Amino acid sequence: MMDALFITALLAATIRLGMAIGLAAIGEAASERSGIFNIGIEGVMLSGAFVAAWGSVRTGSPWLGVVFAMLIGLILAGIHAFMVLGLGIDQFVSGIGMVIFGLGFSSFTARLTIGAKPTSVHGLPSLDFGAISHVPIIGPVLFAQSPLAYIALALAVATGWVLNRTALGLEIRACGENAEVAETLAIPVKRRQTACILFGGVTAGLGGAYLSVVQVNAFVENMVAGRGFLAVACVMLGRRRPLAAFLAALGFGLAEAFQIRLQTLYPDLPYQFLVILPYIAAIAALVIGHVRRGPKMA
Amino acid sequence: MSDGLTRLVRVGVVLFVAALVPSLFVVIAGHNPWRVFTTLVLYAFGPQGWSEVLVHAIPLTLIGLGVAFALRAGLFNIGSDGQLIAGAVLAVFFAPYFEGWGIAGLIVFLAIGAIGGGLLGAFVGYLRAWFGASEIIVTIMLNYVMIQMISYLIRGPMQETSRFWPQSYLIPDDCVLPVIVPGTRLHAGVFVALVMVIVAAIVQRRTVLGFQASVLGANPGAAAYAGFHVKRLTLVIMAISGAFAGLAGAVEVGGIYQRLQDNMSEGFGLAGIAVALIARLEAAAIPFAACLFGIFFAGAGALQRELALPFPLVWIIEASVIFAVAALQWAVPSRKAAAA
C-alpha cells in the first residue's frame, strides 16, 4: 500500500487539508507576537468561508470571493481591535463574541442567500506549471496546488522575516513582550497591535476562503469545524513563530489526510475513531511539546 | 455632573448599537425589527413560550455555573458541550441498573452524570496543571472528540435494540425527571438547577475551595506563595466545572430526551460561557442570565416557525449581548476597575 502513488496522494492532500489552518495561523502568530490573542479566529474563518462562497456565486469569480473574505476578516478583526484596544474589553470575551457572531452571521446570511443546503461554488483552479507538475511525487505535491497555497507559504516566510529581521518586527515584538516599556520607547503600541490584529483577520478570512473556494468548493454551515481553534493551537505549538505555526498546521493536514485514507483502508473500523485523530493529535502535541521543552510561561 | 452625562451617553450608544446589529440582519431578511422583537417577547411570555424559556434555561444555568466556577479561578472551560455528552453517556450507560430504584435511582442517575462530566474536566485539569497544555484548546478539541464518540455509541454498542434509529435505548422510568406543569415540557430539572445555584453560591462564598479558586484567579503567584497546592487545585476546579456540565447532560436526558441522540447540546456550551460572562461570574445572577438566553433560544425557534427567520439569528443576538455587556463595563466602570 505504501507505494509512490499513495505517498504522493497523501502529501498532496496534507498540503490541501492543512492550508486553511496554516493561513489563519500565520496572522494569529503575528497578532500574538504583538500581545493580542484572538480566540475568535474560528468565527472569522466561518465568515470568510461564507463570504468567499457568496462572492464566488454572485460574481462568478472565486478571486473576488477571496477578496471579499479578506475584507470581512478585516472588518471583524477591526471590531476585535476596537473592543480590546479601544474599549479595554477582555480579549477572551471579545474573541468568544466573535466566534458566536461568525457562527450566526455565516449560517443566517447563508440561509437567506445561497441556501441552507451545500451550494457548489466556482472554485479556484489549481496551478499547472506544465511538465514539472507531472513529475512523479514532487509534481503533484509541490507544483499542482492552489495559488492560495503558494501565497500562504510566501506569507508565512515573509511574516517571519518581518517579525525577526526588521525594525518594525522588533517594535511589534516589544509590544508583545512588555507594552509599558515599548510605550516609553515611543513605539505607537496600539497602532502596531491594531495592524497585527487586522493582519490576523485578513489571513483568517483567507483561511476560510480557502475552505470554501478551494478545498470543498461549497459552503456548508459550521464548515470550519474547529480549524480556527486548531490554528490557535498551532501558534502555541510553533511558539508564536509564523513559519513554525504554518508547519504545525501542515502536521494537522497530514493527520487529516491520513485518517481519511485509513477510513477507506479499514472500512470495518468505526469512522468516528478516525475522524477524531487530528483533535487527539492537537492535545498530544500540546502535551509532548511541553514535556520536550520544559515548563514555560502560560 | 458631566461625568454622569458622559456615562449616560455611553450607555445609550452601547444599547443602541447592540439593538442595531441584530435589527440590520432582520431588515436584510426583509422583516420589520420591531415586529420581530414583539413576536419574540409575546412568545417568550405567552402561554406556550414561558415554559420553553425555562426548559432552555435549565441546562444553560448548570453549564453557566460550571463555566463561571472555572473562570473565577482563571481557567477557561470551553468544553461544556463535550462534558455534557460525557455526563449523558455515563448516566445512560448505568441507567438500566437503576430500574425499580424509585427516587434513589433518579438521584444516582444524576450523580453519575456529574461524575462523567467531572472525569472529563479532571482530565483537562490534569493536562493543564502537570503538562501546561492550554485548557482552552484541550476543552475545545475534546468537544469534537465527544461528538464523534456519542455518534459512534448510538450507532454501535449503545444503540436501541431494533438497531434502526441512531439513538440509544430508553432509560428506565425511575431515572426520568417528571414534567411539573402538565401540557408543557417543563420538568423537575428546574429544581435541580436551583439547588445547584445555591450550592455554587455557598461554595463560592463560604468554603475554602471557593476562596482558593478566587485567589488563584486573581493572582496565581500569590496562590502558590500562600502554599496552595496549585496543581491539585486546578484539577479539582476543572473537575467541578465539568461536573456541572455533566449534570446538565443527565438532566437533559432525564427531562427531555430519555435516551442518547445526536445534537443534544444545541450549542449550549458557547451560550453557557455567555451566560457566565453576563452574570459577571456571580452564581446568584446566573439563572437570570440563563433565562435571558432561554428567551433567545426558545424565541428564535418561534421566529423560524412563524416568520421563517433562520434560527442562527439567535447567535447574532447572543454575540451582540456579549459585546454589549462587555462594553457596558467600559461605559460604567465599576469602582474596583476604576481604581486598578
Report the C-alpha gap between A241 and A159 in whole angstroms.
Answer: 9
Asked if the structure places residue A292 within a domain, the reply is no
Contact A275 B148 (CB under 8 A): yes
Copy the grid coordinates of residue A47: 465568515
Tens-place pLDDT, residues B176-205? 999 999 999 999 999 999 999 999 999 988
CB contact under 8 A, A236 and B156: no
Q: What residues form DSSP beta bridges with A120?
A: A218
Residue of B nearest to A85 (CA): B330
In A, minimum Cα distance to B322 occurs at A97
Which of A42, A100, A220 should one mutate to test binding to chain B, selecting the residue with the greatest count of B CBs within 10 A? A100
B137 Cβ under 8 Å from any chain A Cβ: yes
Between CA B69 and CA B31 the distance in angstroms is 40
Of B134, B270, B277, the CB nearest to A286: B134
Given a contact cutoff of 8 angstroms between Cβ atoms, the answer to whether B130 and B298 are in contact is: no
What is the extent of the structural domain holding A34? 4-251
Q: What is the Cα Rg of chain A in Å?
A: 19
pLDDT for B113 equals 97
CB pairs under 8 A between A and B: 138
Interface membership of A294 toward B (CB under 8 Å):
no
A85 in contact with B, Cβ within 8 Å: no
* Interface contact flag, B315 A272, Cβ < 8 Å: no
Residues of B in contact with A87 (CB under 8 A): 326-327, 330
Would you say residue A283 lies in a domain? Answer: no
Which of A88, A108, A296 lies nearest to residue B316, judging by beta carbons? A108
Cell of B72: 473565577
What is the domain count for chain A? 1
Domain presence at residue A122: yes
What pLDDT was estimated at residue A157? 96
Tens digits of residue pLDDT in B48-100:
899 999 999 999 999 999 999 999 999 999 999 999 999 999 999 999 999 98
Instruction: Return d(Cα B15, Cα B305) in angstroms, integer.
Output: 28
C-alpha cell at position A67: 477578496
Calculate the average pLDDT of chain A.
Answer: 90
Express each pLDDT in B126-179 by its tens digit.
Answer: 999 999 999 999 999 999 999 999 999 999 999 998 888 899 999 999 999 999
Closest CA to A276 of B78, B152, B90, B126: B152
Distance from CA of A97 to the nearest CA of B (A): 5
DSSP string, A58-73: HHS-HHHHHHHHHHHH
Q: Is residue A36 in some structural domain?
A: yes
Q: Is residue A293 part of a domain?
A: no
Residue A298 lies inside a defined structural domain of this protein: no
CATH of the domain at A36: 1.10.3470
Q: Which three cell numbers stand for residue A87?
A: 474599549
Is residue A201 a part of any domain in this protein?
yes
* CA–centroid distance for A122 within its chain: 21
Closest-CA distance, A63 to chain B, in angstroms, reads 25
In a domain, A259, yes or no: no
B16 touches chain A (CB under 8 A): no
Q: What mean pLDDT do residues A114-135 have?
A: 75
**In chain B, how many H helices and how many E strands?**
14, 0
ipTM for the predicted complex comes to 0.91
pTM score of the predicted model: 0.92
How far apart (Å, rounded) are the C-alpha atoms in residues A203 and A26? 7
Interface with B, mutate which of A283, A293, A297 (most B CBs under 10 A): A283
